Amino acid sequence: MKPIRVLLIGAGKGGSSILDFFLKLNSVKVVGVADINLGAPGIIAARHNNIPVFEDFKEMISNIEADVIIEATGEASVKESLRKVNLAEVSIMEAKAANLMMNIVEESMKFYKVKETKELLQTILNSAQEGIQVADKHGKILYVNKAFTRITKIPAEERIGKNVFQVSPDGALSEVLRTQKPVFGKPNVVKGSDVEVVSNASPIMVNGKMTGAVVVFRDITDMKRIIKKLNEREEIIKTLKGEIVNLTSSRYSFDDLIGESSIFKKSVAVAKRVSQTDSTVLITGESGTGKELFAHAIHGDSPRKYRPFIKVNCAAIPASLLESELFGYEKGAFTGAEKRKMGKFELASGGSIFLDEIGDMDLNLQAKILRVLQEKEIERIGGNESIKVDVRVIAATNRDLFKMTEEGRFRKDLYYRLNVIRINIPSLRERREDIPVLIEKLMEKLNQKLGKKVGKISREAVELMMEYSWPGNVRELENVLERAITLADGNIISADLIRNYVEFYKYQDEEILSLNEMEKRIIKKALNRYGTSLAAKKKIAGKLNISLATLYNKIKKYGIEL
């Protein structure tokens, strides 16, 4: 069936309302709109809907065929003109009839809007995750949403029409109807259900009088679960705050391993090959050779590079605390354990853990490290649950672990587990040809750090550094250069700045000292200069770039009297 074609004369308020109504109907098509005011609301609406518009209604009638003409102006001149037009097959609706239609249209629109609002409100209420129940002022339940049934398991038909004072006399809705005051955060168990909820309820006021009440409630078990999750997240965040630096990707790559000597390049080549595997790695070498740099580079070049890299200095943490640092603890495991704490192995899961100075670890803890390597699981202190961890272990030491196993100071089974792949970092004495290129790279780094522009070093200064034995290796070389750059007057490091440092360590009377003897003399001189107090020892450890625990070990090792 073809739609009825309508021409509309008059696009003011009334004509605009008629147009809006007809646009919603499929059985009517407005084919033209005319008004002497081309800015009238109906003209604007017609243009928006691609309906032809005219300033002269006669021109519109002459050019567009229609079934009905609606005259919505009420002007006598317009009606008189329409009577003179030959419109044999066209019906004309004049202003009075149009006014009646407009009234009908307005009432229809109001009804439509009320219906639309009701449907919208019902959609919103049924979309809510909270349960909703509405009752009139006498307590008769008028409405429950879908979430009410989902939470309580009570069908809507078993509630609607019932009296709330009978089905839920102790609930928030009943309380509001009795007191005519809002209720917030009221806990109760829904009658007819075992569900515990927390409710907010308010009276419905119309013209100052209460006509009913509405209650909104949430399943408290959901809330408890959310609170538990939030507490767990808070615990993790607090734990991770102290580890945020370590939980980033490794800070050094193979590009940071500087050296062209064959012995050094051999160590780098092994490290590059092993980085692509998950094998346990043992890095050996004297203090200051760059064992930590190698560990960073291995992790950073491995498939685990986007996962955590956790560093633990086994010599810097007292033995009594190291176990809890590595494995974590449960709440109440010991005095002061007020909350559960994740250990380093858990934090490193999926990534790598670097156990530096593992030779300083006591035998009891070594047994637990062995279990991690064998079983891939840990157990928190005070806990009885085994926790699986996927961790690649990289260990490092400046000690002779094999000799320590012979002496009973290091577990043989752990040594063989760690020694799957061994990378020995040569001392600086073994690769003296690398000293010039190391000087160049370190000066570039230190100038940036110190905000200096010392770009040169004298040939004599380099020769002095080539002759020096470097018991502290690359770390000592960096410290010497930092001192020289800081004290340099111009843009060049003179020989005097280096000579003053290395003079003490020159061989005396052609005597060749062992490394242990040289280290012993250095420590004794430092103790004589700074003293033997705890503060003095901390200062000495800082000057020598070793931990306080390592300093105590060396004092004991060399039998130095304090």
| Mean per-residue pLDDT, 27-38 | 92
**pLDDT higher than 80, residue 105:** no
Confidence of residue 508 (pLDDT cuts 50, 70, 90): very low
341-352 tens-digit pLDDT: 888 999 898 999
Can you tell me the distance from the alpha carbon of 559 to that of 503, in angstroms, rounded to the nearest whole number?
26
**pLDDT higher than 90, residue 455:** no
Least confident among 173-187, 428-442, 524-538: 524-538
Beta-ladder partners of 310: 353
Can you tell me the distance from the alpha carbon of 144 to that of 155, in angstroms, rounded to the nearest whole number?
9
**pLDDT higher than 90, residue 276:** yes
| pLDDT value of residue 230 | 75
Confidence of residue 355 (pLDDT cuts 50, 70, 90): very high
Can you tell me the distance from the alpha carbon of 73 to that of 57, in angstroms, rounded to the nearest whole number?
11
Query: Residue 171: phi, psi to the nearest 5?
Result: -80, 175
**What sign does the CA torsion over 64, 68, 74, 75 have?**
positive
Confidence of residue 119 (pLDDT cuts 50, 70, 90): low
| pLDDT value of residue 512 | 60
**pLDDT higher than 80, residue 510:** no
Residue pair 350/387 in contact (Cβ under 8 Å)? The answer is no
| Mean per-residue pLDDT, 404-427 | 94
Confidence of residue 76 (pLDDT cuts 50, 70, 90): confident
**pLDDT higher than 90, residue 278:** yes
Least confident among 139-153, 262-276, 277-291, 300-314: 139-153
Residue pair 190/184 in contact (Cβ under 8 Å)? The answer is no
**pLDDT higher than 90, residue 33:** yes
| Mean per-residue pLDDT, 395-401 | 94
| pLDDT value of residue 506 | 55
Q: CB atoms < 10 A from the CB of 373, how many?
A: 16
Between 388 and 509, the higher pLDDT residue: 388
| Mean per-residue pLDDT, 67-71 | 89
| Mean per-residue pLDDT, 229-250 | 64
| Mean per-residue pLDDT, 515-520 | 79
| pLDDT value of residue 546 | 85
Between 516 and 322, the higher pLDDT residue: 322
| pLDDT value of residue 509 | 36
**pLDDT higher than 50, residue 431:** yes
Residue pair 78/11 in contact (Cβ under 8 Å)? The answer is no
Between 329 and 296, the higher pLDDT residue: 296
Between 562 and 412, the higher pLDDT residue: 412
| pLDDT value of residue 48 | 94
| pLDDT value of residue 488 | 85
| pLDDT value of residue 118 | 60
**pLDDT higher than 80, residue 310:** yes
b/e code 92-106 from CB counts within 10 Å (16+ = b): bbbbeebeebbeebe
Can you tell me the distance from the alpha carbon of 222 to that of 201, in angstroms, rounded to the nearest whole number?
19
Confidence of residue 220 (pLDDT cuts 50, 70, 90): confident
Confidence of residue 125 (pLDDT cuts 50, 70, 90): low
Give the residue ranges of DSSP H helices in 328-472: 344-347, 363-375, 401-406, 412-418, 435-450, 459-467
Residue pair 491/458 in contact (Cβ under 8 Å)? The answer is no
| pLDDT value of residue 502 | 78
| pLDDT value of residue 14 | 82
**pLDDT higher than 60, residue 358:** yes
Instruction: Round the average pLDDT of the chain to a whole number and report it.
Output: 85
Can you tell me the distance from the alpha carbon of 66 to that of 481, in angstroms, rounded to the nearest whole number?
98
**pLDDT higher than 50, residue 507:** no
Can you tell me the distance from the alpha carbon of 285 to that of 299, in angstroms, rounded to the nearest whole number?
19
| Mean per-residue pLDDT, 433-445 | 93
| pLDDT value of residue 427 | 93
Give the residue ranges of DSSP H helices in 303-362: 319-327, 344-347
Q: Which domains does the chain have, with CATH numbers?
A: 4-107 (3.40.50.720), 128-222 (3.30.450.20), 254-424 (3.40.50.300), 431-506 (1.10.8.60), 507-562 (1.10.10)
| pLDDT value of residue 504 | 59
| pLDDT value of residue 370 | 93
Can you tell me the distance from the alpha carbon of 355 to that of 310, in angstroms, rounded to the nearest whole number?
9
| pLDDT value of residue 116 | 62
Confidence of residue 267 (pLDDT cuts 50, 70, 90): very high
Residue pair 158/196 in contact (Cβ under 8 Å)? The answer is no
| Mean per-residue pLDDT, 239-267 | 78
pTM above 0.95, yes or no: no
